[in-house]
Amino acid sequence: MAVVVKNESIRIEKLELGPFGTNTYILTCPKTSMSAVVDAPGEADKILERLKGTNPKCILMTHNHMDHVGSLLELKSKLSVPVAVHSADAGNLPLEPDQNLSDGDLVSIGEIQITVLHTPGHTPGSLCFLTGSYLISGDTIFPGGPGKTWSPAAFKQIVESLTSKIFVLPDETEVYPGHGGATTLKKEKQNFDIFSSKPHDPKLCGDVVWLSS
């Protein structure tokens, strides 16, 4: 567990959980103590422990992959809060979601405003959550590369998602992905610029690394 952001308007905690060490993020509004959980990879007890003293409002899902949903049923039943996901990823969840999220939606957690960005490519319903200069990016962007894609069309789609919705955000935006450590958009825009200045196999997909693919 680590508090990765703490200021007068937001606290963000990161927990690496479950068999794949997937990140859960807990966003808390310090003024109202309202909180939101992003992804539910496993070990619900650890998430519940960290939510103590806060008033959880919802569980936001970046996408539906199994390494992000392991404790979703248990969390939902213990917290009794709505589970929100993009409709294109709703089908493979272990439960029926309560709320569909679309690009541009605003979610309020106390005084925290979260903007929903639909960034398909890794999955059709992949979402990123932006609040102030913090981006919870799911498996859409990592330090050094995009999330995994399983076809050239999906790779083109994730690049389109990144260039149209993510790389247009300010350089100082901090990126908190679904696995591993954080990065900044300044670094990732630089990496991507180098990638896009070179020719690439039109069949490129999979685990792409901007500087070596």
Give contact residues for Zn ion (rule: CB under 5 A). 65, 67, 139, 178
Distance CA 39, CA 11 (A): 17
The two tokens of residue 169 are 């955000």
Beta carbon of residue 17, minimum distance to Zn ion (angstroms, whole number): 12
Give 10 or 69: the residue with its C-beta nearer to Zn ion. 69
CA distance 70 to 41: 5
Cβ 16 to Zn ion shortest distance, Å: 12
Q: Which is nearer to Zn ion, 28 or 140 (CB)?
A: 140
The residue (of 10 and 17) whose beta carbon lies closer to Zn ion is: 17
**Least CB distance to Zn ion at residue 59 (A):** 16
Would the CA dihedral through 203, 207, 209, 213 be positive or negative? Answer: negative
Q: What is the helix (H) or strand (E) element at residue 159, kind and residue range?
A: helix 152-161
Is there a contact between 146 and 139 (Cβ–Cβ < 8 Å)? no
- Closest distance between Zn ion and the C-beta of residue 64, in Å? 8
Q: Which is nearer to Zn ion, 16 or 30 (CB)?
A: 16
Question: Nearest CA to 166 among 206, 120, 208, 201?
Answer: 120
